[in-house]
């Protein structure tokens, strides 16, 4: 696994770390604060264990209080088991995804609501419901930095999430991508691959146009 300090990309992104893994696994974004918030948790494979990475980042094992999941796919939620062994953790996920979290203690699951806001580390993000890749996929958007955590809905360079998985829907994905073209994004932190910081609005537009041409 590799740890990337996002401040090295952009000075406004303080206290945010990207942990990348091996194989089919999501990016894990670590937000520091009084307690740690983690966005997506990877696939849970031994080589992608998160806690050793946290120890590396903070030079001790910090307290993790919540995990926000952009959607329910295994490569984003597999790491929850490791975290739940060590922490009493709130798991925040959009309502439509809850039925898919079968092996997780329902007491720990807290629904988040599109249109609302959510504290992530030192930041306050808007929750944007972006169905299509999955019914309850969300993107998180922070107005001051214009930073978008885009899950598997949109990726850099005109890519976008697959809509042909079970419960995916291409028409919904198109609507979601269109919606993302309507906000001003300066930085994209995707669910897979490296973040991007240049001409992000144009990249999202390209994703929308390309997805449209798939019909």
Binding site for Zn ion (CB under 5 A): 73, 152
> CB of 73: closest distance to Zn ion in angstroms?
3
Residue with Cβ nearer Zn ion (163 or 203):
163
Is 37 strand, coil or helix?
A: strand
CA distance 23 to 46: 11
Cα three-residue angle 57-141-106, rounded to 5 degrees: 70
Closest residue to Zn ion, Cβ-based?
73
Residue with Cβ nearer Zn ion (123 or 176):
176
> CB of 153: closest distance to Zn ion in angstroms?
9
> CB of 71: closest distance to Zn ion in angstroms?
6
Residue with Cβ nearer Zn ion (191 or 195):
191
Q: DSSP string covering 5-51, please?
A: EGGGT-TT-TTEEEEE-SSS---EEEE-SSSEEEE------GGG-SH
Strand partners, 94: 112
CA distance 150 to 154: 6
Residue with Cβ nearer Zn ion (82 or 152):
152
* 64-68: strand order across its sheet: 2-5, 16-20, 28-31, 36-39, 64-68, 90-94, 109-112
Q: Which two tokens stand for residue 207?
A: 């994703």
> CB of 152: closest distance to Zn ion in angstroms?
4
Which of 173, 158, 146, 211 is CA-nearest to residue 71?
Answer: 173
> CB of 14: closest distance to Zn ion in angstroms?
28
Report the length, in residues, of the chain: 215
Is 4 strand, coil or helix?
A: strand
Asked if residue 153 lies in contact with residue 132, where contact means CB atoms within 8 angstroms, the answer is yes
> CB of 5: closest distance to Zn ion in angstroms?
25
Residue with Cβ nearer Zn ion (17 or 160):
160
Residue with Cβ nearer Zn ion (144 or 166):
166
């Amino acid at each position: 696994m590799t740890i990337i300090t996002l401040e090295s990309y952009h000075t406004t992104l303080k206290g945010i770390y990207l942990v990348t893994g091996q194989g089919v696994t999501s990016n894990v974004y670590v937000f520091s604060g009084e307690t740690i918030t983690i966005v997506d948790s990877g696939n849970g494979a031994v080589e992608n264990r998160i806690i050793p990475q946290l120890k590396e980042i903070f030079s001790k094992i910090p307290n993790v209080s919540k995990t926000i999941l952009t959607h329910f796919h295994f490569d984003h939620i597999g790491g929850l088991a490791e975290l739940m062994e060590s922490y009493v953790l709130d798991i925040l996920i959009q309502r439509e995804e809850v039925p898919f979290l079968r092996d997780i203690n329902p007491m720990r699951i807290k629904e988040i609501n599109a249109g609302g806001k959510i504290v992530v580390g030192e930041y306050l993000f808007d929750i944007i419901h972006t169905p299509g890749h999955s019914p309850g996929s969300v993107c998180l958007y922070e107005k001051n930095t214009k930073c978008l955590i885009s899950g598997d809905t949109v990726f850099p360079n005109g890519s976008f999430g697959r809509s042909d998985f079970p419960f995916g829907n291409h028409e919904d994905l198109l609507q979601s991508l269109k919606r993302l073209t309507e906000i001003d994004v300066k930085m994209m932190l995707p669910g897979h691959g490296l973040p991007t910081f240049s001409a992000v609005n144009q990249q999202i537009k390209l994703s929308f146009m390309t997805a449209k041409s798939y019909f």
